[in-house]
């Protein structure tokens, strides 16, 4: 479950190329829907923080973040093509502390936890973070195709607290399976937009 240094899988797959394949769109839908469950004040706070220099967003992404901030309710605009590259940055900002706490609680099992270990830790994490934040964290881990990806997808699908549609989770699961079969053509980051860093 421990992420590798550098851009997350979400950031790598997002990129800025609008000619994404079906796998990329399925992963897009999963992460976008998870971010979309955030309460409006939390989403606006994430927009403020994601534009900070430590996340090293490209100028285009920073401009998109600033444009989203000007909307009274930015949520309906997240699915528009010009705003989609902001989603992994928002996910990173929102889930960073929750992910670090989860990794801390998993301890030596953080690389490849069992289902029981992950659920035991999530029971504690839910007492410290909102359900929507936990959902974003699980979706972001699923993006990275880490050993815990399938467990995270199962949690998203099986727990109604996360508020994700079955279709979005199923699409994400299909995309993960495609990746492991070597079928993913996800977009690599460009030099101008390497993906979110820090947190």
Per-residue pLDDT reduced to its tens digit, 63-114: 999 999 998 889 989 889 999 999 989 999 999 999 999 999 999 999 899 9
The predicted structure's pLDDT at residue 13: 38
pLDDT tens digits for range 102-121: 999 999 999 899 999 999 99
Q: Would you say residue 144 lies in a domain?
A: yes
The predicted structure's pLDDT at residue 128: 97
Q: Would you say residue 93 lies in a domain?
A: yes
Q: Would you say residue 199 lies in a domain?
A: no
Q: Would you say residue 1 lies in a domain?
A: no
Q: Mind giving me the DSSP string for 119-185?
A: HHHHHHHTTTS-HHHHHHHHHHHHHTT-TTHHHHHHHHHH-GGG---HHHHHHHHHHHHHHHTT---
Q: Would you say residue 84 lies in a domain?
A: yes
DSSP code of 96?
H
CA dihedral (30, 35, 38, 40) positive or negative: negative
- Of the candidates 137, 175, 139, 146, the one whose C-alpha atom is nearest the C-alpha of residue 26 is 175
Q: Would you say residue 72 lies in a domain?
A: yes
The predicted structure's pLDDT at residue 169: 66
Helix, strand and coil content of the chain, in percent to the nearest 5, comes to: 65, 0, 35
Is 197's pLDDT higher than 70? no
Cβ-in-10-Å burial (0-12, 13-18, 19+) of 77 comes to: middle
pLDDT band at 22 (very low <50, low <70, confident <90, very high): very low
Q: Would you say residue 130 lies in a domain?
A: yes
The predicted structure's pLDDT at residue 164: 80
Q: Would you say residue 165 lies in a domain?
A: yes
The predicted structure's pLDDT at residue 198: 44
Domain carrying residue 57: 20-180
pLDDT band at 135 (very low <50, low <70, confident <90, very high): very high
- What's the total number of domains in the chain? 1
The predicted structure's pLDDT at residue 163: 80
The predicted structure's pLDDT at residue 183: 39
């Amino acid at each position: 479950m421990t992420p590798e240094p550098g851009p997350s899988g979400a950031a790598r797959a997002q990129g800025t190329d609008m000619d994404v394949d079906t796998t990329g769109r399925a992963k897009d839908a999963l992460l976008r829907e998870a971010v979309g469950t955030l309460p409006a004040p939390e989403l606006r706070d994430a927009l403020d923080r994601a534009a900070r220099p430590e996340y090293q967003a490209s100028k285009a992404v920073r401009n998109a973040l600033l444009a989203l901030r000007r909307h009274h309710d930015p949520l309906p605009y997240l699915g528009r093509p010009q705003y989609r590259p902001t989603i992994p940055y928002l996910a990173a900002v929102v889930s960073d502390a929750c992910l670090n706490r989860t990794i801390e609680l998993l301890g030596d099992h953080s690389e490849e936890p069992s289902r029981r270990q992950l659920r035991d830790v999530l029971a504690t994490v839910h007492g410290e973070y909102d359900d929507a934040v936990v959902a974003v964290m699980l979706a972001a881990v699923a993006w990275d195709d880490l050993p815990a990806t399938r467990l995270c997808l199962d949690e998203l699908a099986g727990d109604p607290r996360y508020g994700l549609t079955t279709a979005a989770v199923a699409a994400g699961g299909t995309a993960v399976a495609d990746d492991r079969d070597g079928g993913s053509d996800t977009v690599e980051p460009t030099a101008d937009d390497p993906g979110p860093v820090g947190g």
